[in-house]
Amino acid sequence: MPNLHNSGHEGLDELLGAARQGATPDELMHMESTLDQFTAVVASGVRAADDTIPEPVLSPRSTVTMFNTRIPRRAAAIVVATMFAAGTAAAAAGGVLPTPFTASADPVLVDDTSVDDTGLDTDSTLEGITDDTGVDGTEVDDDSADDSASDDHSLSERDFGNCEAWLNGADNDPASPAFAHLADEAAEEGVTIDEYCTTLVDEHRSGHGSDDADDAGDDHGGSMPTLPEQSRGDDHATTPSLPDDRGGSSGRSGGSNSGSGSSSNSGSSNRGGGDDTSGDD
Amino acid sequence: MWILGGVQRPALDDATFPDVLVRALEGDRSAAEQLFVDLQPRLLRYLRSLEPSAADDIASETWYSIARGLGSFRGDLAGFRSWSFSIARRRLIDHRRIAARRPVAFESLDDTAGVMLMGRSDDAADTALDHLSGQGAADTIARHLPPEQAEVVLLRVLGDLDVTEVAEVMGRSANWVRVNQHRALRRLAEKFGEGVIPAGDPTISLA
């Protein structure tokens, strides 16, 4: 029991003591009606075990509860996720995202050299898938050689363009920035710009003619260098991303009537199992 | 011992409380009266000092909740008072939340302002402690203290609750109650006591 009426300060003790005074008639004014209700509720047995200390109940119209519900949170999460996915898809379609997310290379930003590099990347991507075929190993070596000469190639491409402009131009100024490099190159070789450019254009056209011939011979076309690799890989693998299925497809093609139910094994084992089963049958 | 309707009745204490509780649960009206006479003045003074305009309604709601939960109550007289004040305090909080969202008409605002002005017009020097009623003392405590400090003192004085019980009712720590009680009593002593009490005066560390 707290001892609040003996603080040692007379005025304070009187104040606290007065608060403890007995009931006044005013305070017991509603006793009869309250007791009627009290006894009726107790007698009716209306008891709630969880009502011993009732919790404050917020009004359903409260704005706080409206924003605390889960439905708006879920809706907000869905909207955010949709916007993120749509933005990523749009960026991928526009070629803004880096290689793993890019749907296609932007031709404006890619010159011939980078097209070659794209082919190299695709080859290297497919290397781990089709290395069993023994085809891509040679191509990787070729592409790496192209890579080592890529700087010179791009330089000559720029000179080739400038030379074509020089040769086709009516009023050429050797002092202009575009032709200054040609003048330097020609001076280094001890020839005129016309002679230098004529030689360069001839060499370039002859070189490209042989490349086009190679491409035509492969039936690949120059615009999509990656597709031939995939089509070539299709001869050996049905789906590049699922190397096991490649063996599985071979297994099916080799032993499709084997009736073996275990499809999780490798193609060779399936094929062997199919042969064994057919042999047993 | 107290008299009601010309009949002497025993005061409620720790010894008689278990029997009174059982009889009240069985529908004995005199037992219910004993609970009411013991508790109702305390509840009303507490509620009227904190929410004068709605104290009687809140007290009525509190008794309804007590009647509903009495069958599941387990404890002694101090526990019963603590439990009852917990219910009353939560009903008070409910009332204030509802009132805060309800638009206030000009008439009732004027009435409320009038009550507040009337209640706060007197100074400590004008308060005649010798003639204070129970409600007057509770109002004086509430008037001269910040709300939380006033509630601590009122619960301790009116509810006869110890520090731990007050902490449970208010949802605070016991240390928080001790600190606020000390500050409240020091402030009241400065107003109504003899002279100014220095900070840290041990005589008002009553817990």
In a domain, A209, yes or no: yes
B103 CB neighbours in chain A (<8 A) are: none
Residue A154 φ/ψ region, left for φ over 0, alpha for ψ in the -120 to 50 degree band, beta for the rest: alpha
A266: pLDDT strictly greater than 50: no
| Residue from B60, B149, B206 whose CB has the most chain A CBs within 10 Å, to mutate | B206
Mark whether A147 and A210 lie in a shared domain: yes
What pLDDT was estimated at residue A21? 85
Q: What is the mean pLDDT of residues A58-77?
A: 60
In a domain, B2, yes or no: no
Residue A50 φ/ψ region, left for φ over 0, alpha for ψ in the -120 to 50 degree band, beta for the rest: alpha
Mark whether A184 and A229 lie in a shared domain: yes
How far off is chain B from A73, nearest CA to CA, in Å?
25
Mark whether A208 and A90 lie in a shared domain: no
A64: pLDDT strictly greater than 90: no
Closest-CA residue of B relative to A10 is: B193
Give the whole-number percent of chain A exceeding pLDDT 90: 0
Average pLDDT, chain A: 60
What pLDDT was estimated at residue B86? 95
B91 CB neighbours in chain A (<8 A) are: 54
* ipTM of the modeled complex: 0.75
A124: pLDDT strictly greater than 50: no
The number of domains in chain A is 2
What pLDDT was estimated at residue A72? 73
Range of the domain at B38: 11-103+110-195
CA atoms of A118 and A122, how far apart (whole Å): 6
H or E segment at B7?
Answer: strand B7-9
Helices then strands, each counted (H, E), chain A: 12, 0
In a domain, B200, yes or no: no
Alpha-helical (H) ranges within B51-194 are 55-69, 77-101, 106-119, 134-143, 147-158, 163-170, 174-192
Greatest C-alpha distance within chain B: 54
A59 CB neighbours in chain B (<8 A) are: 97-98, 101
In a domain, B152, yes or no: yes
Q: What is the mean pLDDT of residues A134-152?
A: 44
| Neighbour-count burial of B28, counting CB atoms closer than 10 A to its CB (0-12 exposed, 13-18 middle, 19+ buried) | middle
B163: pLDDT strictly greater than 90: yes
In a domain, A271, yes or no: no
B180: pLDDT strictly greater than 90: yes
Mark whether A95 and A193 lie in a shared domain: no
What pLDDT was estimated at residue B12? 85
What pLDDT was estimated at residue A98? 61
How far off is chain A from B96, nearest CA to CA, in Å?
11
The number of domains in chain B is 1
Mark whether A143 and A89 lie in a shared domain: no
| Residue from B2, B36, B49 whose CB has the most chain A CBs within 10 Å, to mutate | B36
In a domain, B203, yes or no: no
What pLDDT was estimated at residue A5? 54
- Is A260 in contact with A254 (CB distance < 8 Å)? no
CA atoms of B193 and A15, how far apart (whole Å): 10
User: CA A198 → CA A191, A226, B62, distances in Å?
Assistant: 11, 34, 107
Residue in A267, A240, A231 with CA at minimum distance from that of residue A252: A267
Residue in A3, A41, A42 with CA at minimum distance from that of residue A20: A3
B153 CB neighbours in chain A (<8 A) are: 4, 16
Q: What is the mean pLDDT of residues B99-109?
A: 63
What pLDDT was estimated at residue A154? 57
**From the list B41, B68, B98, which residue is nearest A41 (CB)?**
B68
A157: pLDDT strictly greater than 50: yes
How far off is chain B from A84, nearest CA to CA, in Å?
39
Q: Which tens digits make up the pLDDT trace of B35-82?
A: 999 999 999 999 999 999 999 999 999 999 999 999 889 899 999 999
What pLDDT was estimated at residue B151? 94
Mark whether A155 and A138 lie in a shared domain: yes
Banded model confidence at residue A247, pLDDT cuts 50, 70, 90: very low
Print burial letters for A107-131: b (CB count within 10 Å at least 16), e (below 16). eeeeeebbbbbbbbebbeebeebbe
In a domain, B16, yes or no: yes
Residues 35-74 of A with CB under 8 A from B: 35, 37-39, 41-43, 45-49, 51-59, 61-62
pTM: 0.47
A103 touches chain B (CB under 8 A): no
Which residue type sits at A164?
E
Residue in B63, B49, B8 with CA at minimum distance from that of residue B30: B8
**Cβ-Cβ contacts under 8 Å for A145 (sequence gap 6 or more):** none
B159: pLDDT strictly greater than 50: yes
Mark whether A92 and A113 lie in a shared domain: no
Higher pLDDT, B77 or B132: B77
A229: pLDDT strictly greater than 60: no
- The owner of tokens 């590099």 is A117
Mark whether A117 and A215 lie in a shared domain: yes
Q: Do A30 and B60 touch (CB under 8 A)?
A: yes
CA atoms of A10 and A19, how far apart (whole Å): 14
Q: What is the mean pLDDT of residues B140-166?
A: 93
Range of the domain at A148: 107-234
CA atoms of A194 and A1, how far apart (whole Å): 115
Higher pLDDT, A257 or B88: B88
Closest-CA residue of A relative to B26 is: A43
Q: Which of A18-27, A36-45, A78-87, A225-234 has the lowest mean pLDDT?
A: A225-234
In a domain, B207, yes or no: no
What pLDDT was estimated at residue B178? 94
Greatest C-alpha distance within chain A: 127
What pLDDT was estimated at residue A191? 87
**From the list A8, A35, A51, which residue is nearest B69 (CB)?**
A51
Mark whether A145 and A77 lie in a shared domain: no
In a domain, B15, yes or no: yes
Q: Do A34 and B40 touch (CB under 8 A)?
A: yes
Mark whether A77 and A166 lie in a shared domain: no
- Is A268 in contact with A247 (CB distance < 8 Å)? yes
Give the whole-number percent of chain A exceeding pLDDT 70: 39
How far off is chain A from B107, nearest CA to CA, in Å?
25
DSSP string, A181-218: HHHHHHHHHTS-HHHHHHHHHHHHHHHHHHHHHHHHHH
* Residue that finishes a domain, picked among A203, A218, A234: A234
Banded model confidence at residue A133, pLDDT cuts 50, 70, 90: very low
CA atoms of B11 and A132, how far apart (whole Å): 100
CA atoms of B73 and B101, how far apart (whole Å): 33
Banded model confidence at residue B118, pLDDT cuts 50, 70, 90: very low
How far off is chain B from A100, nearest CA to CA, in Å?
56
Q: How many Cβ pairs closer than 8 A exist between chain A and B? A: 183
In a domain, A205, yes or no: yes
What pLDDT was estimated at residue B155? 94
- The owner of tokens 């305070």 is A27
In a domain, B1, yes or no: no
